[in-house]
Amino acid sequence: METSRVVKTFLEYVQISSESRWEAAFSQRLAEDLQQIGLTVETDDSADKVKANTGNLYAFLPGEADLEPILLCAHMDTVPPGQGIHPVIEDGIIRSASDTILGSDDKSGAAAIVEALREIVQQKLPHRPVEVVFTICEEVGLLGAKYLDYSRLRAKKAVVFDNEGDVGTIVNQAPGHVEISATITGRAAHAGVAPEEGISAIQVAAEAVSQMQLLRIDAETTANIGTFFAAGPNNIVPETVRLAAEVRSLDPQKLKRQCRQIAGALQTACQKYGASLQYSEEPSYSGYQIAETDPLIQQLKDCLRALDYPVRLCATGGGSDANILNQNGIQAVVVGTGMEKIHTVSEYITLQNLERTKAFTMALIQK
């Protein structure tokens, strides 16, 4: 079988290293491709803000004036190990040959967007006005999307190509996410000579944690402690413990309630032992839920059905650029491109999913 354009482009894209904060070379290539197709291209000033070597890339293709503009989005960065990627095709599946990721997260999205636009323009097919945003630093806290200049975007609806699952997967629900950090300060004392004068921060923290609801709270809510840190010699009652935790929920009320439960357990234990507590919560992004009956979801479904691809609506437990877009007034869903086992060296994607992502994108643009 002859290698199709989208596959060829994808293979070239994954060979341009673009680990987070080092997206410039890949951004340059995308800008060239988009310009060649006929889009206007700009880079913003987010590079300095997040200490990356380039900013987010914006592109625009004017379309039929009576059609609603659409924003197509993918991220340019990859997780490590993402340098010197050597893709190989075997039985219709693309993998990396060596000890690296493949980079289908998210270059499958980028290749599909570029090649869909190329074909639409080459064939002179009527289409919607199309905005494209390729973000930096998605993998390190959605930083590019957080520093996007939303005032320059005209589309109110977006499709983010950045999920596992075959083409046809539509993520219409994603959780909000809060980072918690807490420091418990007890009192140091000689553990052998005068332990009764000390307050063991480890004991306090352990009691607090034992009273916390953690892991799967309900179908919509999760909580996890990632750090429980204390270090000291065995002959000193430990003075400090540092905890870091996260809470996620599809329901903003439950998100708050779960954070309060964790804060409450810490306060109660600290009071009981006379330790002091420093506590902070940092919302990293809001969740979103878009009804199955919403026109955006209906549009996506219509395109998929016209192509005869099965539709699967689902919720995710993770965050993506779509969370930040929704937070900033652009209705956004994430769709599956067929990327699988992402963030591992076993990452792969099928040729069929690459072709289908491109066909789906073409249908969206023409809708």
Q: Does 164 bind Zn ion (CB under 5 A)?
A: no
Minimal distance in Å, beta carbon 119 to Zn ion?
24
Choosing from 19, 23, 77, 115, the catalytic residue is 77
Q: Does 106 bind Zn ion (CB under 5 A)?
A: yes
What gap in Å lies between CA 243 and CA 179, rounded to an integer? 11
Q: Which of residues 15-34 bind Zn ion (CB under 5 A)?
A: none
Identify whether the C-beta of residue 321 lies closer than 8 Å to the C-beta of residue 73: yes
Identify whether the C-beta of residue 314 lies closer than 8 Å to the C-beta of residue 290: no
Identify whether the C-beta of residue 160 lies closer than 8 Å to the C-beta of residue 95: no
Q: Binding mask 221-260 vs Zn ion (x if CB under 5 A, - otherwise)?
A: ----------------------------------------
Q: Does 77 bind Zn ion (CB under 5 A)?
A: no
- Residue 138 falls in the annotated catalytic set: yes
Which residues partner with 348 through β-bridges?
95, 340
Identify whether the C-beta of residue 285 lies closer than 8 Å to the C-beta of residue 327: yes
CB-wise, 33 or 105, nearer to Zn ion?
105
Exactly one of 162, 164, 340, 347 binds Zn ion (CB under 5 A); that residue is 162
Given the structure tokens 């993918």, which residue do they identify?
74
Minimal distance in Å, beta carbon 17 to Zn ion?
16
Identify whether the C-beta of residue 224 lies closer than 8 Å to the C-beta of residue 209: no
Largest CA distance in the chain: 85
What gap in Å lies between CA 300 and CA 170, rounded to an integer? 8
Exactly one of 33, 77, 105, 164 binds Zn ion (CB under 5 A); that residue is 105
Minimal distance in Å, beta carbon 339 to Zn ion?
8
DSSP annotation of 332 reads: E
Alpha helices, DSSP H, located in 176-251: 201-210
What gap in Å lies between CA 321 and CA 166, rounded to an integer? 19
Contact region for Zn ion (CB under 5 A) — 13-21, 161-169, 256-264, 269-277?
A: 161-169
What gap in Å lies between CA 289 and CA 209, rounded to an integer? 31
Identify whether the C-beta of residue 30 lies closer than 8 Å to the C-beta of residue 134: yes
- Residue 77 falls in the annotated catalytic set: yes
Contact region for Zn ion (CB under 5 A) — 158-166, 177-185, 243-251, 348-356?
A: 158-166
Choosing from 138, 321, 340, 355, the catalytic residue is 138
**Total residues at the site for Zn ion (CB under 5 A)?**
3
Identify whether the C-beta of residue 88 lies closer than 8 Å to the C-beta of residue 96: yes
Minimal distance in Å, beta carbon 27 to Zn ion?
16
CB-wise, 105 or 115, nearer to Zn ion?
105
Minimal distance in Å, beta carbon 285 to Zn ion?
14
Contact region for Zn ion (CB under 5 A) — 90-98, 119-127, 159-167, 258-266?
A: 159-167
The contact set with Zn ion (CB under 5 A) reads 105-106, 162
Which positions are catalytic?
77, 138
